[in-house]
């Protein structure tokens, strides 16, 4: 029974991981051209982008809570394993990215309203200098996250193919 409960907990964590992956990649890739649109279209796109960003923040909190509650992915001396450090680095970086996006929206001179009812743009006064600063930080963090996602995917692919090769070799020799 304990093994199936642990497997269930890992399966839930894995589902949350893939949901987060799809949503994060969508938002990372969708944000690049928003500033090139007319204000009417830009407002709608930012409503979607900020709503998805808010969803990412909530999902990352749920993922973190689930992992902590069920003691998942915390092997001894995890900080000495680069793959584990990379996985743990995603949490604060993704949350920071969302908070930088909120800060950017707070200083926008146009409405940024997540889900159509969370008015991020009314959190602060319109200030083009601060908005530009946070926009630059938001873009820089997006590049960092994209790079880390690629590194993580390559690392997981390496491990996956290494395990597949080992399984294939075992089948060939038996």
d(CA 13, CA 33): 32
Name the pTM for this structure: 0.81
d(CA 105, CA 120): 6
Contact 73, 87 (CB under 8 A): yes
The residue ranges of every structural domain in the chain are: 2-173
pLDDT (average), residues 37-44:
89
Alpha carbon of residue 65 to chain centroid = 15
d(CA 82, CA 97): 22
Q: Is the pLDDT of residue 36 over 70?
A: yes
pLDDT digits (tens, 9 = 90+) for 54-111: 999 999 999 999 988 988 866 666 666 777 777 778 889 999 999 999 999 999 998 9
Q: Which of 48, 49, 68, 58 is nearest to 19 (CA)?
A: 58
What confidence score (pLDDT) does residue 118 get?
95
Contact 64, 16 (CB under 8 A): no
Could you give the residue ranges of the DSSP H alpha helices within 107-127? none
Q: Which of 148, 16, 9 is nearest to 82 (CA)?
A: 148
| 2-173 is classed CATH 1.10.357 | no
- pLDDT category, 1, cuts 50, 70, 90? very low
Q: What is the 3-state secondary structure (H, E, C) of 2-37?
A: HHHHHHHHHHHHHHHHHHHHHHHHHHHHHCCCHHHC
Kindly state the greatest CA–CA separation across the chain: 70
pLDDT digits (tens, 9 = 90+) for 112-150: 999 989 999 999 999 999 999 999 999 999 999 999 888
Q: What is the 3-state secondary structure (H, E, C) of 53-77?
A: HHHHHHHHHHHHHHHHHCCCCCCCC
- pLDDT category, 39, cuts 50, 70, 90? confident
């Amino acid at each position: 029974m304990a093994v199936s409960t642990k497997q269930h907990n890992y399966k839930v964590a894995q589902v949350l991981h893939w949901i987060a992956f799809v949503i994060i990649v969508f938002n990372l890739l969708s944000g690049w051209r928003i500033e090139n649109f007319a204000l009417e279209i830009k407002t709608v796109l930012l409503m979607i982008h900020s709503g998805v960003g808010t969803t990412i923040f909530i999902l990352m909190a749920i993922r973190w809570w689930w992992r902590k509650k069920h003691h998942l992915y915390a092997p001894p001396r995890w900080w000495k394993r680069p793959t584990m450090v990379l996985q743990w680095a995603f949490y604060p970086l993704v949350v920071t990215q969302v908070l930088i996006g909120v800060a950017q929206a707070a200083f926008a001179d146009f409405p940024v309203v997540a889900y159509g009812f969370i008015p991020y743009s009314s959190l602060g006064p319109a200030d083009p200098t601060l908005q530009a600063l946070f926009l630059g930080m938001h873009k820089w963090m997006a590049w960092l996250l994209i790079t880390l996602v690629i590194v993580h995917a390559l690392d997981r692919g390496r491990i996956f193919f290494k395990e597949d090769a080992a399984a294939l070799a075992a089948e060939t020799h038996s």
